[in-house]
Amino acid sequence: MSTQVFYFVATLSIIFSLMVIFAKNPIHSVLYLILTFFTFTVHYVLLNAQFLAVVNFIVYMGAIMVLFLFVLMLLNLNKDTEPAKSPLIKIIGVIAGGCLVVTLIGSLKSASITSPLILKNQELGLVENLGKELFGPFLLPFELSSLLLLAAMVGAVLLSKRDEVEA
Amino acid sequence: MENLTTQLQGVPLNHYIWLSAIIFTIGVIGVLTRRNAIVIFMSVELMLNAVNLLLTAFSVHSNDPSGQVFVFFIMALAAAEVAVGLSIIVMVYRNTKSIDINVLNRLKW
């Protein structure tokens, strides 16, 4: 029972993320991506990173995925509008990815960090602990990220605004 | 809850590394093989999430909350990136009536 849950959820995340890139219909891709993010939330809960689990659930599955779905519906895309890529490119892409994963895993095998992951401090990922960290040593980056979000908001509004001349 | 999570631990760290490497690679394959700009964007999100999971695993491993704070910043950055990127895609669609990225190859010149 102990570690089986991790392997089950890991298999699910790999299957769903494969479905994301191989689904023909972009809407199905978004829905599979939501499932993938849900499995990631489960991973965070297993690591007892409860703050990140909640943030991942709300920000990724709530906000970002709704934005994706909204844009897909707005542009009215379905599988008929999906441009076909030649099978050669697909095969080359899959081979390149396979080489990447073999290289990554092969090079990390020599590092062999096989020590089991055990939470030493139960409070590590809780809101209280992370809040103290966030508003202590990481206060400046935290405030700067608000500036980043403001800039992104202004940029998004400016970019998607229609030209006055056109309207 | 704490009983449950302590019971569930004990997965070797390199299995987290493998999982993240595989999901990152799936994202790379998606970027390389798809031509729909939105699906490419989703593959980038997959890569960001693989890195997030690995940062969290290492944070738990070394008992250091900085890793999880960093994941929080990556999530804020991803939200900003998605907002700007999707509005760029909407504008490209408005001008070219397509989100095929090969239409944009004239940006090369």
- Give A11-22 as a DSSP string: HHHHHHHHHHHH
Chain B from 45 to 84: CB within 8 A of any A CB:
45-46, 49, 52-53, 56-57, 59-61, 63, 65-66, 68-69, 71-73, 75-84
* pLDDT tens digits, one per residue of B23-71: 999 999 999 988 888 889 899 999 999 999 999 998 888 888 888 999 9
The partner residue sitting opposite B25, judged by closest CB among A97, A111, A149, is A97
Q: What is the ipTM of this complex?
A: 0.88
The pLDDT of residue A81 is: 59
Domain extent, residue B42, equals 2-100
Per cent of chain B over pLDDT 70 is 91
The candidate with the shortest Cα–Cα distance to A148, out of B77, B75, B45, B82, is: B77
C-alpha dist (Å) from residue A57 to A43, A98, B51, B76: 12, 30, 17, 13
CATH number at residue B18: 1.10.287.3510
The count of domains in chain B is: 1
* pLDDT tens digits, one per residue of A3-50: 788 899 999 999 999 999 988 888 889 999 999 999 999 999 888 888
Whether B33 and A141 lie within 8 Å, measured CB to CB: no
**Fold of the domain spanning A4-119:** Four Helix Bundle (Hemerythrin (Met), subunit A) (1.20.120)
Give the mutation candidate from B6, B38, B96 for the A interface (greatest A CB count, under 10 A): B38
